[in-house]
């Protein structure tokens, strides 16, 4: 089966940086996705990594190490609107996404 | 329609009743998916369809069925609802199996 682990909750101050770690074990691997989900809303796509390394997209960056089965999402210059759940998801060999339970990030003033 | 829509937004259903959740996308995406989201468990794949006319089972398919008669529509049917099917259901679509998935707004289903 698939196993995706990420912390349940994180709290940070406005303007700070937060790093959300994710480890995965899947039947083969075709990439790692990060989604953002605000309370009561649908998940929205943030990033996709298939090769090792760091992908930067504005205030958000995502890192992947395939050999370690590890990824992280880095949120910089935190804003109140970044308070949300962040979902790590691994794409297996049969192209099915397996999601972690999500990390709830709370940004405090 | 812009993107992906789901109906109904929410529903309360008596156990044993049949229910169909509707999903429609206007992006001409090949692949469509149904997930359920439960507290502490994250999103779990119920069924998927890589292209019109084909469907496949996900992680938690029991008690659910789907059909994909055309590109745009992907309904999910609960033949005889049970309380454990109380959940938030999300439909999603993607251009290909490795592309980002776009999610609908969700259907909150309560089975009593």
pLDDT, tens digit, 9 for 90 and up, residues A58-73:
999 999 999 999 999 9
Tell me whether residues A101 and B42 touch, CB distance under 8 A.
yes
The 10 Å CB-count burial string (b at 16+, else e) for A55-94 is eeeeebbbbbeeeebebbbebeebeeebbbbbbbbbbbee
Reply yes or no on whether the pLDDT at B99 is more than 80: yes
In angstroms, the CA B96 to CA B90 distance is 18
Mean pLDDT, to the nearest integer, of B21-44? 95
pLDDT score at B72: 97
A69 backbone dihedrals φ, ψ, rounded to 5°: 60, 45
Band of residue B44 on the pLDDT scale cut at 50, 70, 90: very high
Tell me whether residues A43 and B43 touch, CB distance under 8 A.
yes
pLDDT score at A27: 81
Reply yes or no on whether the pLDDT at B37 is more than 60: yes
- B48 contacts in A (CB within 8 Å)? 96
Mean pLDDT, to the nearest integer, of A16-33? 94
The beta-carbon neighbor of A99 closest among B40, B43, B50 is B43
In angstroms, the CA A80 to CA A106 distance is 8
Tell me whether residues B58 and A96 touch, CB distance under 8 A.
yes
Band of residue B2 on the pLDDT scale cut at 50, 70, 90: confident
Band of residue A2 on the pLDDT scale cut at 50, 70, 90: confident
How would you list the strands of the sheet with B76-78, edge to edge? B4-7, B19-25, B76-78, B64-66
Tell me whether residues A102 and B48 touch, CB distance under 8 A.
no
Helix, strand, or coil here: B8?
coil
pLDDT score at A65: 97
The beta-carbon neighbor of A42 closest among B44, B59, B105 is B105
Tell me whether residues A33 and B100 touch, CB distance under 8 A.
yes
A43 near A37, Cβ under 8 Å?
yes
Reply yes or no on whether the pLDDT at A7 is more than 70: yes
Reply yes or no on whether the pLDDT at A1 is more than 60: no
Cα torsion through A48, B44, B2, B109, rounded to 10: -160
pLDDT score at B14: 98
Please write the tens of the pLDDT for every residue from A74-95: 999 999 999 999 999 999 888 8
Distance from the B33 Cα atom to the nearest Cα atom in chain A, whole angstroms: 10
Mean pLDDT, to the nearest integer, of B24-45? 95
The beta-carbon neighbor of A45 closest among B58, B100, B104 is B100
pLDDT score at B1: 53
């Amino acid at each position: 089966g698939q196993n995706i682990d990420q912390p349940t909750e994180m709290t940070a101050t406005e303007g700070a940086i937060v790093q959300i770690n994710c480890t995965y074990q899947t039947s083969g691997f075709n990439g790692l996705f990060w989604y953002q989900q605000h309370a009561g809303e649908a998940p929205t796509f943030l990033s996709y990594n298939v090769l090792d390394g760091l992908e930067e997209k504005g205030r958000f960056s995502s890192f992947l190490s395939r050999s370690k089965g590890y990824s992280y999402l880095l949120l910089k210059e935190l804003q109140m609107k970044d308070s949300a759940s962040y979902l790590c998801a691994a794409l297996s060999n049969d192209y099915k996404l397996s999601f972690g339970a999500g990390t709830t990030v709370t940004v405090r003033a | 329609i812009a993107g992906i829509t789901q109906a109904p937004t929410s529903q309360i259903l008596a156990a044993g009743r049949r229910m169909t959740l509707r999903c429609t996308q206007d992006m001409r995406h090949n692949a469509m998916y149904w997930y359920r989201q439960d507290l502490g468990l994250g999103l779990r794949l119920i069924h998927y369809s890589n292209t019109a006319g084909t469907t496949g089972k996900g992680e938690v398919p029991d008690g659910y069925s789907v059909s994909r008669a055309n590109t745009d529509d992907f309904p999910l049917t609960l033949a005889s609802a049970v309380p454990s099917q109380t959940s938030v259901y999300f439909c999603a679509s993607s251009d290909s199996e490795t592309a980002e998935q776009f999610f609908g707004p969700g259907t909150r289903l309560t089975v009593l």
